């Protein structure tokens, strides 16, 4: 086989000759270039300048043959709007391309490149570029064209590069410390690393950058033409600054993509600047698109990640969390391509109650996306699908571990402090949702706030007309935790170092933009909150429902929010409406509230401060106010509050109750305020208060004008408010208040809770009585108590008694027709006590203490004192006819029924400094008494009686009449002083002793002295008597005697004695007889004996004041005996009649 070998050798020799020729040509060219390098360089630069219009300057150029390369130092390219400078540029063409006559670079290295100039663009402001950017339909074509321009393989190295470009509006884009090592195979395969120290975007005329990108690092490998299906690894690290709102964002992104799908792990942390306060935030998690794996439903994912197994809950006997029914198993759509036909392509599983989201693109799963904003955190899981008809659709779940609405949303900042605190701590919330271009649907919501668990649904039906809808229900809500002010506890105001995010403002020095109705988006809302049971302090509301929706804008165009509330309240109905409008800095409120047919007995069991034990209650309030601050809101409150009750009972102390037919309260509200000093805090309402009560002719009306506080320790309180009270009592009995009673009171009223009521500068008038003073009323554990200083005046006692009893005493004289009583009073509903008593009944003055108790059997306790007591004047003015007839009235009176005295108990004492009776005087009189079961006992009555000590006692029994027994004893009475005080027709002197015990049983008037029986005794020693002239002066010679005495008994008003004895220096008389006080006549048989005469009988007859004497002796003896008997019986009868008068 020699022939092939020769041909092969021939081919090899030709090839060697060709290569040798090429080498010779190349060597010649190299020698030529080396000898003419300067000329060639200048020619090339002139040609480049001529073709491009750019000035190109190079300090030096070096060539390398194997491999072929060019190195240029200090390269400078200048144009009209472009300036490029490179310290060293290394370019290496591809050898094979050169051999083919083409220039194709495979290696480019630039050291310290600097690019600057102006670009033919209107702006480089990224904010304007982003807003003016169009759709991305041409991106794939642009990448394809760029791929066609790049060589097959290219390595680019840049070290310490910088560039700066400026647009027509003077905005600029700059980069510094830029380095990279990139290996390109067109755009089919890109790998390497890109770093930048700083990339900055500046707006025209602004010193603050629009964007700063620091420490940028991009490394990995990707195939840009198939970025989402063939990116083995791509990592991005950067520190981004977007002033003023985002001063710091640290980004860490890791992206991988294969034919089965792609995955993006991201961790973004930064600060949000609001009112000069940085707010840290973070977004971290994973986005996954898996074209082969079946997609798990969000329902199944929630149960696996968050919720316990339903079987475990059933075993534990617990309720399954409020979730929609489990979704059906996913179904695979028809395969769109041959590559996907072998495996079922997953798609977004429709959520329960939501329309299905279908499409040919595989979904993007959002797995455990962690969202943090300062102390708030949440976790997002879901699926993002791209529907050919609906566009992008995101369905999934958001689990909020903690969320503050008060901190981030402006509307919550204007709420009450307690509600702000409640909305500042929403925990363990879960939302299942679907979001697309049409709207937002949230079929399942679970949230916890203020100790309550809310479940329900919500969403936004259409973004074109956004209306936020929420429908939430809680089994039980404690209103005191959500709104502590509602139960009188004022919480601390919630404070944040910045404003809400609904009004973004990086610095406080930046004014907030004014609202623009033409551009501002109007967001409506329809919020419905329901609770099966609401605990409002001690009371309970069932079936509560609240609806919050927009109202009609006001005249100024400001929006209005309307809140409606309904509920069942103690078998009645509660309805409320609140319209909130006006500007945001000074909102207005229009509040209407109504309570109908509330059962008072059931309400009072839970809320004992409601003073209604039974009856039907209703209330209504119409209030307006304004202001976003609570103090301004309270101060601006105006309106009317009314409450009514019917057919009920009010507590009246202990177990007693006061029935009423109608009870009403009205408040014309003028303002309100709060007081944070007490614990708990309290709220005050100022206005005109009117309360009234009616029951079977009884009516009570009270009016107050001023500030009344509710809450605190007293629950209700007011201080010295001017007011009035009017009370009408009907006639209770025929002889008690026959025309009823009207009581009018006025003064300054004060109240310190249900336990204390004060009335200063009080003026009370009723039944013709006027009372002035200061009164205190309390309601402690022992019941109602009251006290104070009183000044009672009755100018016409007859008129007052006529109104009280229906009639007045006919004998009440004008001098006793007035009453003045002053003292310190205290008492309860069952008692009255008067201390420091000063009482004046006409001319009579009395002081001391008095107490009365009318619980059960009425009891009196009297400790009285009088400086003077004139019994004669009192009897003369009370019984003027008897005074003229000397008290001897024989007319029979009506029968007495004194059994009412058995219903009264009394005890006490009476001290009188000076007493005048029967024209006699007594000093330092003191008596004690007690009354029980109709028995009045006077164990002792003592006093100084004309140098003697008078002692008396008595027992009185009251029934159908009066039975009594009295005892009197006095020794060595100075008759001279007594006689001078009485000023009788005869002046009597001597020492007298009196002792008597009398009894009587009276059944009516006019029975004295016929009913009087008992024993008596009188003795006078060393006495005298003589006549008086008309002027009352003793005249003539006194008749002196050593002794005058008598004793005996009395039966039916007839006094009998068998030992009448009289003796003087010349005469001695003894005998006996009777004195009939009924007819005032006498019949006595005496025996008279003188020193000059034997004892002889004398009979005395006639009347007590005009006795007749019959004696069988001479005229002289008759005259002497007659004169003697006049004196004896005037003395004896006067003493006995005085005793009778004293105790009759």
| Mean pLDDT in order along the chain per 10 residues (1144 residues) | 65 71 63 60 66 77 74 86 89 75 81 90 80 51 67 87 90 92 87 93 85 93 85 93 91 92 93 91 93 56 44 41 38 34 34 43 88 93 87 91 83 66 86 92 90 90 84 86 63 78 75 61 75 84 85 60 86 87 76 89 76 84 82 87 87 69 92 77 86 85 88 76 86 67 86 73 82 76 74 80 65 73 80 84 84 78 88 72 51 72 86 87 91 91 91 90 90 86 80 90 80 89 82 79 88 89 83 85 84 79 74 46 52 47 40
Q: What is the pLDDT of residue 812?
A: 65
Q: What is the pLDDT of residue 657?
A: 73
- Pairing verdict, β 698-711 and 682-695: antiparallel
Torsion sign (Cα): 872, 876, 878, 884: positive
Nearest CA to 954 among 943, 969, 942, 964? 964
- Pairing verdict, β 1013-1027 and 819-828: unpaired
Domain that holds residue 195: 50-128+143-243
Nearest CA to 662 among 620, 703, 619, 615? 615
**Interacting residues of 842 by C-beta distance below 8 A, sequence separation 6+:** 813, 815, 816, 817, 818
850-854: long-range pairs with CB below 8 Å, 24+ = 854/830
Asked if 1000 contacts 1012 with a C-beta cutoff of 8 angstroms, the reply is: yes
**Interacting residues of 148 by C-beta distance below 8 A, sequence separation 6+:** 186
Q: What is the pLDDT of residue 1136?
A: 47
In a domain, 415, yes or no: no
Nearest CA to 634 among 803, 832, 485? 485
Asked if 228 contacts 196 with a C-beta cutoff of 8 angstroms, the reply is: no
Question: Could you give the CA distance from residue 511 to residue 463 in angstroms, rounded to a whole number?
Answer: 29
How many CB atoms are closer than 10 A to CB 64? 11
**Interacting residues of 315 by C-beta distance below 8 A, sequence separation 6+:** none
CA atoms within 13 A on the CB side of 513: 10
Tokens representing 289?
A: 């698109």
In a domain, 964, yes or no: yes
Domain final residue, candidates 243, 274, 305: 243
**Pure H helices in 368-524:** 405-408, 410-413, 417-423, 479-482
Domain final residue, candidates 243, 274, 306: 243
* Per-residue H/E/C for 947-983: CCEEEEEEEEEEECEEEEEEEEEEEEEEHHHHHHHHC
Strand, helix or coil for residue 427: strand
In a domain, 918, yes or no: yes
Torsion sign (Cα): 186, 190, 193, 196: positive
Helices 2-35 and 37-52 meet at what angle, rounded to 10? Answer: 80
Nearest CA to 940 among 973, 910, 919? 910
Asked if 83 contacts 117 with a C-beta cutoff of 8 angstroms, the reply is: yes
In a domain, 799, yes or no: no
In total, the chain counts a number of residues equal to 1144
For 94-153, where are the E strands, in sequence order? 105-111, 114-118
**Interacting residues of 845 by C-beta distance below 8 A, sequence separation 6+:** 838, 839, 866, 867, 868
Tokens representing 957?
A: 């029994």
Backbone angles phi, psi at 539, to 5 degrees: -100, 165
Partners of 975 in beta bridges: none
**Interacting residues of 576 by C-beta distance below 8 A, sequence separation 6+:** 563, 564, 565, 566, 591, 592, 593, 594
Question: Could you give the CA distance from residue 1016 to residue 1022 in angstroms, rounded to a whole number?
Answer: 21
Question: Could you give the CA distance from residue 82 to residue 65 in angstroms, rounded to a whole number?
Answer: 32
Question: Could you give the CA distance from residue 827 to residue 778 in angstroms, rounded to a whole number?
Answer: 10
**Interacting residues of 997 by C-beta distance below 8 A, sequence separation 6+:** 965, 966, 967, 968, 1014, 1015, 1016
**Interacting residues of 224 by C-beta distance below 8 A, sequence separation 6+:** 143, 187, 190
Nearest CA to 382 among 328, 463, 301, 443? 301
Tokens representing 320?
A: 């399954």
Nearest CA to 986 among 1028, 1033, 1031, 1035? 1028
Question: Could you give the CA distance from residue 357 to residue 385 in angstroms, rounded to a whole number?
Answer: 7
Nearest CA to 450 among 413, 489, 477? 477
Nearest CA to 85 among 113, 43, 63? 113
Domain final residue, candidates 224, 243, 262: 243
Question: Could you give the CA distance from residue 201 to residue 212 in angstroms, rounded to a whole number?
Answer: 7
In a domain, 699, yes or no: no
Phi-psi region of 304 (alpha: psi -120 to 50; beta: other; left: phi over 0): alpha
Question: Could you give the CA distance from residue 859 to residue 850 in angstroms, rounded to a whole number?
Answer: 11
In a domain, 844, yes or no: no
Name the residue with tokens 């003027």.
880
Question: Could you give the CA distance from residue 300 to residue 352 in angstroms, rounded to a whole number?
Answer: 12
Strand, helix or coil for residue 900: helix
Strand, helix or coil for residue 460: strand
Nearest CA to 1011 among 999, 1020, 1019, 1023? 999
Asked if 71 contacts 110 with a C-beta cutoff of 8 angstroms, the reply is: no
Average pLDDT in the chain: 78
Tokens representing 1003?
A: 């059944």
Counting the structural domains of the chain, the total is: 2
In a domain, 985, yes or no: yes
Q: What is the pLDDT of residue 308?
A: 42
In a domain, 953, yes or no: yes
How many CB atoms are closer than 10 A to CB 648? 25
Nearest CA to 1061 among 1088, 1083, 1037? 1088
Tokens representing 883?
A: 């005074």
Asked if 1084 contacts 1060 with a C-beta cutoff of 8 angstroms, the reply is: yes
């Amino acid at each position: 086989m020699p022939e092939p070998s020769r041909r092969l050798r021939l081919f090899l020799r030709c090839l060697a000759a060709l290569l040798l020729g090429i080498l010779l040509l190349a060597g010649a060219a190299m020698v030529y270039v080396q000898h003419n390098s300067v000329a060639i360089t200048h020619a090339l630069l002139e040609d480049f300048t001529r073709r491009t219009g750019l000035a190109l300057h190079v300090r030096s150029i070096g060539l390398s043959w194997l491999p072929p390369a060019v190195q240029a130092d200090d390269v400078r390219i200048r144009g009209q709007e472009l300036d490029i400078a490179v310290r060293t540029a290394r370019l290496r063409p591809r050898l094979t391309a050169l051999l083919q006559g083409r220039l194709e670079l495979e290696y480019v290295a630039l050291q310290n490149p600097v690019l600057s100039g102006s670009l033919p663009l209107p702006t480089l402001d990224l904010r304007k570029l982003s807003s003016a950017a169009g759709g991305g339909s041409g991106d794939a074509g642009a990448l394809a064209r760029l791929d066609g321009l790049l060589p097959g393989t290219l390595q680019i190295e840049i070290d310490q590069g910088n560039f700066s470009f400026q647009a027509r509006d003077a905005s600029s884009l700059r980069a510094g410390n830029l380095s990279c090592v990139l290996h390109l195979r067109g755009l089919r395969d890109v790998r390497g690393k890109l770093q930048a120290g700083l990339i900055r975007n500046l707006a025209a005329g602004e010193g603050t950058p629009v964007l700063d990108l620091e420490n940028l690092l991009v490394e990995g490998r990707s195939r840009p033409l198939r970025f989402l299906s063939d990116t083995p690894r791509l990592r991005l690290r950067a520190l981004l600054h977007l002033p003023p709102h985002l001063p710091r964002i640290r980004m860490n992104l890791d992206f991988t993509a294969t034919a089965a799908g792609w995955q993006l792990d991201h961790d973004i942390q930064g600060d949000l600047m609001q009112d000069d306060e940085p707010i840290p935030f973070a977004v971290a998690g994973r986005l996954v698109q898996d074209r082969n794996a079946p997609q798990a439903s969000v329902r199944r994912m929630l149960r696996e990640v968050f919720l316990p197994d339903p079987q475990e809950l059933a075993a534990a006997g617990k309720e399954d969390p409020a979730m929609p029914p489990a979704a059906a198993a996913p179904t695979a759509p028809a395969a769109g391509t041959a590559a996907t036909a072998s495996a079922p392509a997953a798609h977004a599983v429709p959520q329960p109650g939501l329309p299905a989201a279908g499409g040919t693109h595989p979904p993007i799963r959002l797995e455990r996306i962690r969202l943090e904003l300062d102390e708030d955190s949440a976790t997002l899981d879901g699926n993002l699908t791209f529907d050919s008809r609906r566009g992008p659709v995101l369905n999934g779940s958001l689990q909020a571990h903690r969320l503050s609405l008060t901190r981030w949303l402006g509307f919550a900042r204007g709420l009450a402090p307690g509600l702000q605190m409640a909305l500042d701590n929403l925990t363990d919330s879960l939302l299942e949702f679907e979001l697309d271009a049409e709207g937002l649907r949230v079929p399942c919501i679970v949230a916890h706030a203020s100790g309550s668990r809310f479940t329900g649904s919500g969403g936004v039906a259409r973004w074109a007309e956004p209306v936020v809808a929420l429908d939430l229900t809680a089994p039980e809500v404690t209103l005191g935790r959500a709104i502590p002010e509602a139960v009188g506890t004022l919480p601390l105001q919630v404070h944040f170092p910045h404003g809400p995010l609904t009004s973004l403002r990086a610095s406080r020095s930046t004014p907030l933009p004014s609202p623009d109705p033409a551009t501002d988006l109007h967001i409506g809302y329809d919020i419905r909150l329901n609770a099966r049971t609401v605990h409002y302090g001690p009371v309970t509301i069932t079936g509560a429902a609240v609806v919050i929706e927009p109202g009609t804008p006001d005249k100024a165009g400001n929006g209005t929010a309307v809140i409606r509330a309904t509920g069942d309240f103690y078998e009645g109905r509660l309805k409320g409406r609140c319209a909130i409008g006006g500007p945001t800095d000074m909102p207005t409120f229009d509040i209407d509230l109504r309570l109908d047919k509330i059962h008072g007995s059931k309400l009072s069991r839970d809320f004992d401060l409601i003073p209604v034990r039974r009856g039907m209650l209703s209330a209504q309030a119409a209030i307006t106010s304004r202001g976003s601050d609570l103090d301004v809101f309270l101060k601006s409150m105006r309106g009317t509050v009314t409450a009514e009750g019917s057919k009920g009972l009010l507590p009246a102390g202990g177990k007693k109750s006061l029935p009423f037919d109608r009870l009403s309260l009205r408040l014309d509200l003028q303002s309100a305020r709060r007081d944070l000093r007490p614990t708990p805090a309290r709220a005050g309402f100022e206005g005109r208060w009117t309360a009234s009560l009616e029951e079977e002719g009884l009516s009570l009306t009270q009016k107050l004008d001023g500030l009344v506080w509710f809450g605190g320790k007293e629950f209700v309180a007011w201080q010295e408010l001017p007011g009035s009270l009017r009370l009408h009592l009907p006639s209770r009995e025929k002889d008690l208040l026959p025309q009823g009673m009207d009581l009018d009171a006025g003064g300054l009223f004060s109240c310190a809770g249900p336990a204390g009521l004060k009335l200063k500068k009080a003026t009370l008038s009723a039944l013709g009585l006027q009372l002035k003073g200061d009164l205190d009323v309390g309601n402690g554990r022992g019941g109602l108590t009251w006290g104070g200083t009183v000044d009672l005046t009755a100018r016409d006692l007859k008129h007052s008694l006529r109104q009280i009893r229906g009639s007045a005493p006919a004998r009440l004289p004008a001098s006793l027709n007035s009453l003045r009583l002053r003292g310190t009073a205290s008492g309860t509903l069952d008692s009255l006590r008067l201390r420091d008593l000063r009482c004046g009944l006409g001319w009579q003055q009395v002081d001391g203490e008095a107490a009365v108790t009318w619980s059960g059997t009425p009891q009196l306790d009297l400790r009285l004192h009088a400086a003077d007591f004139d019994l004669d004047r009192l009897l003369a003015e009370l019984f003027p006819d008897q005074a003229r007839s000397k008290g001897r009235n024989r007319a029979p009176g009506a029968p007495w029924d004194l059994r009412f005295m058995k219903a009264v108990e009394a005890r006490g004492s009476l001290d009188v400094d000076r007493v005048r009776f029967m024209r006699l005087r007594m000093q330092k009189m003191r008596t004690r008494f007690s009354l029980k079961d109709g028995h009045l006992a006077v164990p002792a009555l003592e006093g100084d009686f004309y140098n003697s000590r008078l002692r008396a006692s008595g027992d009185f029994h009251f029934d159908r009449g009066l039975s009594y027994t009295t005892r009197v004893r006095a020794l060595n009475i100075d008759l001279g002083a007594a006689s001078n005080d009485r000023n009788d027709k005869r002046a009597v002197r001597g020492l007298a002793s009196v002792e008597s015990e009398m009894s009587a049983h009276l059944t009516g008037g006019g029975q004295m002295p016929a009913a009087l029986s008992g024993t008596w005794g009188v003795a006078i020693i060393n006495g005298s008597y003589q006549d008086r002239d008309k002027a009352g002066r003793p005249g003539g010679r006194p008749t002196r005697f050593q002794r005058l005495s008598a004793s005996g008994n009395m039966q039916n008003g007839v006094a009998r004695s068998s030992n009448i004895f009289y003796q003087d220096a010349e005469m001695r008389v003894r005998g006996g007889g009777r004195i009939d006080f009924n007819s005032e006549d006498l019949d006595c048989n005496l025996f008279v004996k003188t020193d000059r005469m034997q004892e002889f009988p004398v009979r005395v007859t006639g009347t007590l004041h005009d006795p007749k004497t019959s004696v069988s002796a001479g005229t002289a003896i008759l005259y002497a005996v007659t004169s003697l008997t006049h004196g004896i019986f005037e003395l004896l009868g006067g003493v006995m009649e005085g005793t009778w008068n004293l105790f009759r």
